[in-house]
A and B are shown apart, each in its own frame.
Chain A
Amino acid sequence: MSEKTIAQVNEDLLRPVLRTTRRFWIAVLLLGSVVAAGIGAFGYQVWNGIGVWGINRPVFWAFDITNFVFWIGISHAGTLISAILRIADAGWRRPVTRCAEVITLFALMIGGIFPIIHLGRPWLFFWMIPYPSERQIWPQFRSPLAWDFFAIGTYLTGSFIFLAYPMIPDFALVRDKVTGWRKKLYTVLALGWRGTPRQWHRLEKAMHIMAIVIIPVAVSVHTIVSWDFAMAPVPMWHSTIFGPYFVAGAIFSGIAGLIIAMAFLRKVLSLEDYLLPVHFDNLGKLLLTMCLVWVYFIFSERLTVWYGNESAEMAVFWTTQRGPFAPLFWTMVFCNFIIPFPLLAIKRFRTTITGVVIASWTVVIGMWLERYLIIVPSLSHKYLPYTYGSYRPTWVEVTILVASNAAMGLLYILFSKFVPIVSIWELKVGSHKPPVVHHRLSVVRDSSPTGASAIDDGLLTTDQ
């Protein structure tokens, strides 16, 4: 593969932003109509009552909270991975970070919607927010759902900042390339970026701080999500393993989500020269690690329950291992381990993008099932067998689930329309090849304030 010049890099990476294809419109229309269907389904639910869902007594949560945990899990791909890789200074991360961080932002937004739409009276969602009410009523700060609000809020804010900072130089780049209303838009978005050494210095410093801060936030978010379950005395929920188990599961599904997104971008935006097999190989290794961690956790969880032989927990245990939930359970094991493990462990498969992508798809499906299997079997088999129940989703819940996926796609496509999906300046700064900019900029990394200013192509020359 030939090495790319900066002009080519700009051309390649700005193409999606600057040129709008018919394919884009078709995709937006398609995904948009699915999202509209989901909004319609939600409207139908609000109008008629949440009874249009399949939830019942005792299965008060099902698809709603499954989707919530699933999307919060997916969100762990981006920011967390990106931050770890930034701190570890893994050079190969550069083309990956932005599309990963975007996943975090959008997955959080979508995931965060579920606790609102799952309410019996969603129009009163703001009562979960600690605002100074004239009646001096505050939320119940002992409730894990209130913790969720803070955790997700913090993570969303942090992820947004983490994503937005490094976009500023790229916005400036776009600003300098476009005219008309776009010029105005990107001028605003670029926040007066001129590429001065001071600006570069501050950006680097901010990113460093954010990278460190966001890691504990990310870990805490999914831990707190797990506490929604672990704090309630429900058989097989009330477990100390849930915090790390959920974090591991989240990273697991997050990486899988990232790989799928990257493969998709690579194909659709013709980024074959930027998102390379090595990226998939590296992420595949990470996925393999998480796969093993996940298996370790579920084994520990199941073993201790089985060995403990506590009757209420055993009811849930057997219903998932051999009872009516067994088909789903073993599908999950297949999707999360039996299929991805060989694909990722054997180098011949892992080094093909297809192999890694297949593994990622099964993991995403398997992890959705995992959340479903955490929620529904436990709720349908609580302590008193008289109250055992069952659950079957309705079209409303399925529509909302499908729409949430479509929303992810739609947001992603729209994002890649407005923002270069690969961080151009970081790529240019990057030391790996290709793109081949690095030989000109190899000094930059070590002395970024001044070095960065050496980056060519208008970042400094543009006159505002």
Chain B
Amino acid sequence: MERRDFLKAAALTGATAALDNCGNPEHQLIRFIPEEDLVPGVAEYKPSICTMCPAGCGLMVRVMEGDAEVIRHGEPGLIKMGLAKKLEGNPNHPISQGKLCGRGQAGLQVTYHPDRLRHPLKRSGPRGSGQYQEVSWDEAIKELVSRLSALRSANQPGSLAFLTQTVRGQRRELMEKFLKSFGAPPAVTTELFDDAVLRRANEVSFGRPQLPTFDLARANYVIAFGADFLGTWNSPVAQSVAYGEMRQGRAGVRGKFVMVEARVSQTGASADEWIPGRPGTEGILALGLAHVMIEQKLRRAGDAGHAGSLIEGWSKGLPDYAPPAVEASTGVPAAKIIRLAREMAAHPPSLAMVGGAPLAHSNGMFTALAVNGLNALLGNVGNPGGIFFQPQPPSGKAASGPPTSPKGSFSRVGELIQQAQNGNAPKGLLLYGANPVFTSPSSLGVREALEKIPYIASLGSFIDETSILADLILPDHSPLESWLDDAPESGAIGPVASLSAPAMRPLHNTRAMPDVLLEVAHQLGGEVAAALPWKSYDELLRVTFESYNKPQGKNQAAKPGDFWKTVQERGGVWSSSETASGALAGASHAPAAMLGPEFDGAEKDFPFHFLPYASQMLLDGSLAHLPWMQETPDPISTAMWSTWVEINPKAADGLGIVQGDLVEIASRHGKVQASALISPGIAPDFIAMPVGQGHEYFTRYASGRGANPVAILAPVAVPETGSLAWAATRVKISKVGKGKLVLFAGGIREHPQEGELR
């Protein structure tokens, strides 16, 4: 064939192919004019903030050009746009320090999730049926405004409730300002694993109602009571970075790490010494250590100051906590207590941390105060290698006055339920990513109570067990499409205010939650509009962040425009000053006497302690909709896409349970079923289950998968704080059939013996 002929033929076939495409509806999309300039194949990096957990890590988003189907002006079409391709830790950010955990890495999937809500939706079927019809934004906002106006004109603005996921910074300010000016009570954060107990204890002991920052990098000895600080608790990335330094970052020094818990967690796996104790006795063990140090004159009781005075008998050297007595209540041998105490005293700086299950008992406050006392005795508060309280950036007017520890979400949701049960349900409810139906014990009846609320509007991005009850859904942008700001509570030593502009333009017909609130406020008029005068959320952010522009030392304040630009480029403002902690002054509180835990369910009927724990990948279930998280093996069990029940081999033998059996876990409040996983790392009187699966409605990837252990928990609050005492339930277990485990790993031993070869 001649070259020309070939070209002709090619042109012909090409034309035919083009004609064919015309008949294919997929290719009938309009092509929009690009909204930004991008060089194909060249990546740009834009700062952002991770919203996958409350740690508040700074991100760098890798953005590259791509072809996306988007909605613009209500019209679907194709556009060349910058697409987020990869998330990395922001190397300048004091929390993430260039690093990022697996959950953070999966943040991309939120933006591109196929089941993310793409338009405003109005309920068209019965409540809870999931039947919605698409409406326009104007229509949706008008409807919400009319509902809210109706509340206001009925003189019932106080009966508007707001349930939210963890939100901080200006976003929170905006929500609170909105609610306050409307006349509604503050928003309620619903969290399963809230840290209200520790915040309250820190407020009492140190005057700071917040989670501490641990200076692990300079610590020589660390004892953790149940705190999964390398996995899911507090600020895992910052803590992991520091942990690496503690282990191998200093020539000739390798810090020791002791873990006290009943089931080997991902964090516990890295410990030099792993100590199982009786549940709820961690505070007694901590005071046992303090007793030995005081008695052996390794530390003086007075060193502990106010934090020590909060424990009964502290000034007398804690006479009730002699090692034999502590052994009797905790099960940890007296000799080991003495050795640990001596080691801790001999290797300063040493620090203790407490979190997770030990605080989720009826005596959680006692335990937290006890560990605080131990830290104070070790003299590490505010000192290198110890614990710090990160100064918070100045916030707006809504939260003016000294910060106080919020009550636990369990009791605040409980109040809402109570009202509803008394026929006093709120008349309207706004939801923002909160899923109390999933994260509350089923005996609490959250869903039934919410059903009594006449009008529910959701501002979240997905339909879950709670938002399926919504009458109106105003879907939020994904975090990468939004203006974000954050004020991390812990993780760094100096104050941090993170800020980021959208890393990419929106894919769908969504609107950022703050902008929706501003628009609603504007349309409501009156006080609400006056309290929220900004046209858009970034305007509010700019006002706030410009206020951080102050001369620092010898440096002049930057020009306002420059400052705003620099903040956006860096991803926020922060200071590395260590002294910013300021003086710590605790609050007055009655001295805590020795207090053991109480459990729900009699030992006779329910022989096992039940330990639900935050799943490494799915956390409290809020990340169960991401396939990357579902398919990443759990670090301990290596299970994917499923729920399992961890049981000690001896206990399993006694019950005739083998690996892979379907077992039923029953408490006084319900039962769940999942497959048994025989694990050498759990105490024989414990049953552990990861939280995260068992969603009824939560996208195609999580719905109807696994079981939710929270459902069977006793609805018991930790006194004084109102957190759910999620570790205080007793259960029984029985085999019901053959189950299925989806495990990534084959063997569990590195050098399997003959009998272990499956």
Query: Which chain A residues have a beta carbon within 8 Å of chain B's beta carbons?
Result: 311, 314-315, 318-319, 322-324, 380-381, 385-390
Residue pairs across A and B with Cβ atoms less than 8 A apart, 27 shown, are A311-B751, A315-B752, A315-B757, A318-B754, A319-B757, A319-B758, A322-B754, A322-B757, A323-B757, A323-B758, A324-B757, A324-B758, A380-B746, A381-B757, A385-B746, A385-B747, A385-B748, A385-B749, A385-B751, A385-B752, A386-B745, A386-B746, A387-B745, A388-B745, A388-B746, A389-B746, A390-B746
Q: Is B20 an interface residue (CB 8 A)?
A: no
Q: Which 7 A-B pairs have the closest CB atoms?
A: A388-B746, A385-B747, A388-B747, A323-B757, A318-B754, A319-B757, A386-B745
B750 within 8 A of A: yes
How far apart sit A318 and B747, CA to CA, in the bound complex (Å)?
Answer: 14
CA distance A323 to B749 in the complex (A): 16
B750 touching A385, Cβ below 8 Å: yes
Cβ of B19 to closest chain A Cβ, rounded Å: 28
User: Shortest Cβ distance from A64 into chain B, in angstroms?
Assistant: 22
Give the residue name and chain of the A residue nearest to B746 (CB).
Answer: A388
A385 to B749, CA, bound (A): 7
Chain A residues with CB under 8 Å of B746's CB are 380, 385-390
- Cα A290 to Cα B751 in complex, Å, equals 38
Interface code B658-689, partner A: CB below 8 Å = 1, 0 otherwise? Answer: 00000000000000000000000000000000
Give the distance to chain B from A399, nearest Cβ to Cβ, in Å: 25
Q: Smallest CB–CB gap between A424 and chain B, Å?
A: 56
Question: What chain B residues lie within 8 Å of A386 (beta carbons)?
Answer: 745-747
Nearest B residue to A325 via CB reads: B757
Segment 715-758 of B: residues with Cβ below 8 Å from A:
745-752, 754, 757-758
A385 to B743, CA, bound (A): 13
Chain A residues whose CB sits within 8 angstroms of the CB of B754 once the complex forms: 314, 318, 322
Instruction: List the B side residues contacting A390 at CB < 8 Å.
Output: 746, 758
Q: When chains A and B are docked, how far (Å) is the Cα of A62 from the Cα of B750?
A: 25
How long is the Cα–Cα vector from A387 to B747 in the complex, in angstroms?
7
A324–B757 alpha-carbon span in the complex (Å): 8
List CB contacts (< 8 Å) of B16-53 with chain A. Answer: none
Tell which of B747, B748, B750 has the most Cβ of chain A within 10 Å: B747
Cβ-closest chain B residue relative to A314: B754
Whole-angstrom distance between the alpha carbons of A405 and B751 in the complex?
Answer: 41
**Docked CA distance A389–B757 (Å):** 11
**B152-183 vs A: 1/0 string, CB under 8 Å?**
00000000000000000000000000000000
Number of B residues whose C-beta is below 8 Å from A?
A: 11
Given contacts A314-B754, A381-B757, A386-B747, 19 further A-B pairs with CB under 8 A are A311-B751, A315-B757, A318-B757, A322-B754, A323-B757, A324-B758, A380-B746, A385-B747, A385-B748, A385-B749, A385-B750, A385-B752, A386-B745, A386-B746, A388-B745, A388-B747, A388-B758, A389-B746, A390-B746
Complex formed: what's the CA distance from A315 to B749 in Å? 12
- With a cutoff of 8 Å between Cβ atoms, the chain B residues found around residue A381 in the complex are 757
Q: Residue of A at shortest CB range from B752? A: A385
Chain B residues within 8 Å of A324, by CB: 757-758
B contacts with A: majority SS: loop
In the assembly, what is the distance between CA of A201 and CA of B643, in Å? 78
Q: How far apart are the CA atoms of A388 and B752 in the complex, in Å?
A: 11
Q: Which of chain A's residues have a CB closer than 8 A to the CB of B750? A: 385
Cβ-closest chain A residue relative to B758: A324
> How far in angstroms is the closest Cβ of chain B from A432?
54
* CB of B746 to closest CB in A, whole Å: 3
Query: B749's closest neighbor in chain A, by CB?
Result: A385
Of B747, B749, B751, B757, chain A has the most CB atoms within 10 Å of the CB of B757
Residues on the A chain within 8 Å of B745, using CB: 386-388
Q: Counting chain A CB atoms within 10 Å of each CB, which of B745, B748, B749 scores highest?
A: B745
- Cα distance A380–B758 in the bound complex, in angstroms: 10
CB B742 to nearest CB in A, in angstroms, measures 13
Shortest A384–chain B CB gap in Å is 8
| Complex interface bits, B604-639 against A, C-beta within 8 A gives 1, otherwise 0 | 000000000000000000000000000000000000
Closest chain A residue to B754, Cβ basis = A318
Closest to B748 in A: A385
B679 to chain A minimum Cβ distance, whole angstroms, is: 15
CB-CB < 8 A to A322: which residues of B?
754, 757
Distance between Cα atoms of A388 and B746 in the complex (Å):
4
Q: Contacts of A380 on B, CB cut-off 8 Å? A: 746
Q: Which residues of A contact B751 (CB under 8 A)?
A: 311, 385
| Measured CA separation A314–B752 after assembly (Å) | 10
Complex: A368 Cα to B754 Cα, angstroms:
26
Give B99 Cβ to nearest chain A Cβ, in Å: 25
Q: How far is the CA of A381 from the CA of B745 in the complex (A)?
A: 12
User: Which residue of chain A is the closest to B638 with respect to CB atoms?
Assistant: A386
Q: A314: which B residues are within 8 A, CB to CB?
A: 754
- Can you name the residue of chain B whose Cβ is closest to the Cβ of A321? B754
Most chain B beta-carbon neighbours within 10 Å: one of A322, A385, A389: A385
A319 to B747, CA, bound (A): 13
Which residues of B are found within 8 Å of A311, using beta-carbon distances?
Answer: 751
Residue of A nearest to B751 (CB): A311
**B504 vs chain A, min Cβ distance (A):** 33
Give Cα A324–Cα B747 distance, bound, in whole angstroms. 14
A388 to chain B, nearest CB (A): 3
What separation, in Å, do the CA atoms of A318 and B750 have in the docked complex? 16
- A319 to B757, alpha carbons, bound, how many Å? 6
Give the CA-CA distance A319 to B745 in the complex, in Å.
Answer: 17
**Cα(A347)–Cα(B120), bound, Å:** 88
Give B306 Cβ to nearest chain A Cβ, in Å: 50
Contact residues in B for A318 (Cβ distance below 8 Å): 754, 757
B746, B748, B758: most-surrounded residue (chain A CB, <10 A): B746
Q: Which residues on A sit within 8 Å (CB–CB) of B747?
A: 385-386, 388
With both beta carbons as reference points, the residue of chain A lying nearest to B745 in the complex is identified as A386
Cα distance, A318 to B757, chains bound together (Å): 7
CA distance A318 to B752 in the complex (A): 11
The listed residue with most B CB atoms (<10 A of its CB), out of A322, A324, A386, A390, is A386
Q: Please, which residues of chain A bring their CB within 8 A of the CB of B758?
A: 319, 323-324, 388, 390
How close is B266's CB to chain A, nearest CB, in angstroms? Answer: 16
Q: CA A324 – CA B754 in complex, angstroms?
A: 12
Can you name the residue of chain B whose Cβ is closest to the Cβ of A381? B757
Closest CB-CB distance, A390 to chain B, in whole Å? Answer: 7
Chain B residue nearest in CB terms to A388? B746
Tell me the minimal C-beta distance from A306 to chain B in angstroms.
11
Q: Considering the chains assembled together, what is the distance between the CA atoms of A315 and B747 in angstroms?
A: 11
- Per the bound structure, the CA–CA distance linking A381 and B746 in Å amounts to 9
Q: How far is the CA of A357 from the CA of B159 in the complex (A)?
A: 89
Q: How far is the CA of A173 from the CA of B758 in the complex (A)?
A: 61
Residue of B nearest to A385 (CB): B747
Closest chain-B Cβ to A391's Cβ sits at a distance in Å of 12
With both chains docked as a complex, state the minimum distance between the C-beta of A181 and any C-beta of chain B, in angstroms.
42
Instruction: Give the nearest-CB partner of A387 in chain B.
Output: B746
Question: In the docked arrangement, what's the CA distance between A386 and B749, Å?
Answer: 8
B584 to chain A, nearest CB (A): 47
**B633 to chain A: closest CB distance in Å?**
10
Chain B hits for A388, CB < 8 A: 745-747, 758
CB of A386 to closest CB in B, whole Å = 5
Interface centre among A311, A324, A388, by most chain B C-beta atoms within 10 angstroms, is: A388
What CA separation (Å) do A390 and B757 show in the bound complex?
Answer: 11
Q: What separation, in Å, do the CA atoms of A326 and B754 have in the docked complex?
A: 13
- Chain A hits for B749, CB < 8 A: 385
Distance in angstroms between the alpha carbons of A387 and B638 in the assembled complex: 11
Query: Inside 8 A of B748's CB, which chain A residues have their CB?
Result: 385
**A346 shortest CB reach to chain B, Å:** 37
Give the CA-CA distance A252 to B582 in the complex, in Å: 87
A378 vs B727: C-alpha distance in the bound complex, in angstroms?
44
A315 vs B754: C-alpha distance when bound (angstroms): 7
Q: How far is the CA of A348 from the CA of B341 in the complex (A)?
A: 84
- Within the complex, the shortest CB–CB distance from B481 to chain A, in Å, comes to 35
A368 to B398, CA, bound (A): 78
CB neighbours (8 Å) of A389 from chain B are: 746
Assembled-state Cα–Cα distance A429/B752 (Å)? 64
A389–B638 Cα distance when bound, in Å, is 13
- CB-nearest residue of chain A to B744: A386
By a CB distance below 8 angstroms, the chain B residues around A387 are 745-746
